[in-house]
Amino acid sequence: MRIVVAGGGGVGELVSRRLVREGNEVTIVEPDADRCQHLDDTLDAHVVQGDAASIRTLRSAGLGGADMFIAITNSDQVNLLSCLAAQAEFHVPVKVARVRSHEVEEWREACGRIGLKIDLLIHPESEQVRRILPVLGLPGITDILDFADGRVRLFGMFLQSGHWLAGKSVMELARMGPPKHSLLVMILRGTQVIIPRGSDALQVHDHVYALTRTDEFPEMLKFLGLEQSAKVERAFILGGKQLGILVAEHLERQGVRVKLFERDAARCGKVASILKDTMVVHGDGTDAATLAEEGVEGVDAYLALTHEDEQNLIAAMLARRLGAKKLVALINRLNYLPLAHRLGIHSTVSLRLTTVDRILQFARRGDVQSVTTFGDEAAEAIELTAQARWKYAGRRLRDIPFPRDVVAGALLRKDGEVVVPRGGDVIEEGDRILFFTSEKALPKLEEMMSSGTAEAGLGGLWRR
């Protein structure tokens, strides 16, 4: 596909790199000259310096011949206006926009009323809330993701020193009697991605991902010896920006007692006028004395959600030392993610990666149900459907020559049955498959999944 991306910031660069890697022809529109030079030096994409709200700039970027337009500048106004130009002036068939405003639903309705068709309107903060809430009552779990319409659950855990899993091989764990429909699917070890086999052993500091049927999730937690809080009673939130407010609103509705810390007095007043039951504290949520005075010891969850990665890391570490049970930190610099887990922070979330995942899922469309990125873009989970006349349909998994760094974690049969497969299971046409793959193995997996289908060739499965 020919794709024009408006915005060459962190998200724009991540999205463009992935789209280029998958064989798309990408043009990036970015106003900053230094940023343009960086993008031109690092990406195999055409870079146009200019304002994405300018029709002349969009014309010089070749928007008239584009199959898709993705507006992810730092300005909601520019994103919406450039989508309007893409529709009215250039007739681009598919448009994607990121909107950071808390009035996203009002803007969605307004676009509908004037006939502006934005195929995917992304609000990263709302997407992120859906990832944060499920892990709050699970101190040992880094993240939880549901697939196959919620019937398959993937969860991550970080192996601290002394964890009983450390040193165990995959084969040893299998002999210890885990739930029937469960599988260890991925290990992130520093910058290395390991799709484990029987002889691979777990190590301290590994970030381990396991998969199970959702109905067996409690049994899986029991097998791993992980604590599950009956209910989150109290939560502290650092940061009164949009994400902190959204999380607080959801926790309020669940009956959780919430304290939100914000340094800016004017911002405190605004947050207090929005939230009904949350106690808004004008103070430094990274100050030990303040946290101790407000009762941080034993708090069920401490969420550091400011816009400063370093502040979030320091705050979460302090809360851990003061006795908070569950730590969540917003981290947007991907190279900080391994460091955060080594420092004992249970869960990290990234608005950038969440946005990239949603865009990639939509850009691939077709038979791709979901895309999830792990680590420093080093691994993916891809949920897709085996097409008609697929070359390998009917073969046992052990007889399909998948790359070494690919594993089929779950199958959703056409009749609704959920299977966590083993080597003797067969993939049939119409099955939905959840694959886990390293970045380097992804092109080979794409090629294999397109083999012998009606749209054979690299990318035939993924594109519109």
* pLDDT given at position 229: 66
In the chain, which residues have pLDDT < 50? 454-464
Same domain for 57 and 79, yes or no, is yes
- In a domain, residue 459? The reply is no
Q: How far apart are CA 291 and CA 294, in angstroms?
A: 5
Q: Of 82, 98, 122, which one is at a domain's C-terminal end? A: 122
CB 434 within 8 A of CB 183: no
* pLDDT given at position 370: 67
- In a domain, residue 405? The reply is yes
Q: Of 175, 199, 224, which one is at a domain's C-terminal end? A: 224
Amino acid at 343: L
CATH, residue 63: 3.40.50.720
Q: How far apart are CA 86 and CA 75, in angstroms?
A: 16
* pLDDT given at position 458: 31
Same domain for 174 and 149, yes or no, is yes
* pLDDT given at position 446: 77
Same domain for 23 and 111, yes or no, is yes
Q: Of 224, 258, 286, which one is at a domain's C-terminal end? A: 224
CB 234 within 8 A of CB 257: yes
Helices and strands (DSSP H and E) totals, the chain: 15, 22
- Give Cβ neighbours of residue 146 (< 8 Å, ≥ 6 apart): 152, 153, 154, 214
Question: For the residues of 314-383, what is the DSSP string, one character each?
Answer: HHHHHHHHTT-S-EEEE---GGGHHHHHHTT--EEE-HHHHHHHHHHHHHH-TTEEEEEEETTTTEEEEE
Range of the domain at 329: 232-348
- In a domain, residue 90? The reply is yes
* pLDDT given at position 441: 86
Same domain for 394 and 370, yes or no, is yes
Same domain for 16 and 51, yes or no, is yes
- In a domain, residue 268? The reply is yes
pLDDT tens track for 366-419: 556 667 878 666 788 888 788 888 888 899 999 999 988 999 999 988 888 898
CB 411 within 8 A of CB 421: yes
* Structural domains in the chain (count): 4
- In a domain, residue 464? The reply is no
- In a domain, residue 456? The reply is no
Euclidean distance between the first and the last CA atom of the chain, given in angstroms as a whole number: 9
Same domain for 339 and 361, yes or no, is no
Same domain for 104 and 192, yes or no, is no
Same domain for 307 and 419, yes or no, is no
Same domain for 393 and 439, yes or no, is yes
Same domain for 306 and 397, yes or no, is no
Same domain for 137 and 215, yes or no, is yes
Please provide residue 94's backbone torsions phi and psi, each rounded to the nearest 5 degrees. -130, 130
**What Cα–Cα distance (Å) separates residue 246 from each residue in 61, 72, 152?**
37, 21, 26
CB 80 within 8 A of CB 63: no
Please provide residue 269's backbone torsions phi and psi, each rounded to the nearest 5 degrees. -60, -40
Same domain for 342 and 408, yes or no, is no
- In a domain, residue 372? The reply is yes
- In a domain, residue 458? The reply is no
* pLDDT given at position 464: 29
Residue entry with tokens 């029709």: 55
CATH, residue 135: 3.30.70.1450
* pLDDT given at position 460: 34
